[in-house]
């Protein structure tokens, strides 16, 4: 079945460092790909998404490109801030033959130090 694999955390960075969180997926169809963020004590917020190959999602300085050839959707940010400290979840949703329940990775906890 479909699955998502994320790099293990936690990740600790200094402010203004470059961030990459790796995400790869396995899917039989043509899923949409998402990054959700969970700040401490809060629910899941959509960070960005991409719906087809070569699409780039971006929001709040974060970017991820849907790479079909490598089945990847890595999250990047050029300069992280303390306020980016959160847990980041990669997810896929395949709406081809279903209602599109999301399949999540295990999450990567990011801590940014001043």
Partner 1 sequence: EPEVTQTPSHQVTQMGQEVILRCVPISNHLYFYWYRQILGQKVEFLVSFYNNEISEKSEIFDDQFSVERPDGSNFTLKIRSTKLEDSAMYFCARRRRSTDTQYFGPGTRLTVL
C-alpha 43/C-alpha 51 separation (Å) is 23
We find the least distance from the C-beta atom of residue 37 to partner 1, in angstroms, to be: 11
Strand partners, 55: none
Nearer to partner 1, 17 or 51 (CB): 51
Nearer to partner 1, 97 or 114 (CB): 97
We find the least distance from the C-beta atom of residue 93 to partner 1, in angstroms, to be: 6
**In the chain, what are the helix, strand and coil shares in percent, each to the nearest 5?**
5, 50, 45
Q: Which of 31, 32, 11 is nearest to 20 (CA)?
A: 11
We find the least distance from the C-beta atom of residue 49 to partner 1, in angstroms, to be: 6
Nearer to partner 1, 17 or 104 (CB): 104
C-alpha 99/C-alpha 81 separation (Å) is 36
Nearer to partner 1, 18 or 30 (CB): 30
**Which residues fall within 8 angstroms of residue 61, CB to CB, at 6 or more apart?**
77, 78, 79
Residues that bind partner 1 (CB under 8 A): 32, 34, 36, 42-46, 49, 51, 89, 91, 93, 95, 98-107
We find the least distance from the C-beta atom of residue 45 to partner 1, in angstroms, to be: 7
């Amino acid at each position: 079945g479909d699955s998502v694999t994320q790099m293990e955390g936690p990740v600790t960075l200094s402010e203004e460092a470059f961030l990459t969180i790796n995400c790869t997926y396995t899917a039989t169809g043509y899923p949409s790909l998402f990054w959700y963020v969970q700040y401490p004590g809060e629910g899941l917020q959509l960070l960005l998404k991409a719906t087809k190959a070569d699409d780039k999602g971006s929001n709040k300085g974060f970017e991820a490109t849907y790479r079909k050839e490598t089945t990847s959707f890595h999250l990047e940010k050029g300069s992280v801030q303390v306020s980016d400290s959160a847990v980041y979840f990669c997810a896929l949703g395949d709406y081809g033959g279903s209602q599109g329940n999301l399949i999540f990775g295990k999450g990567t906890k990011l801590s940014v130090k001043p």
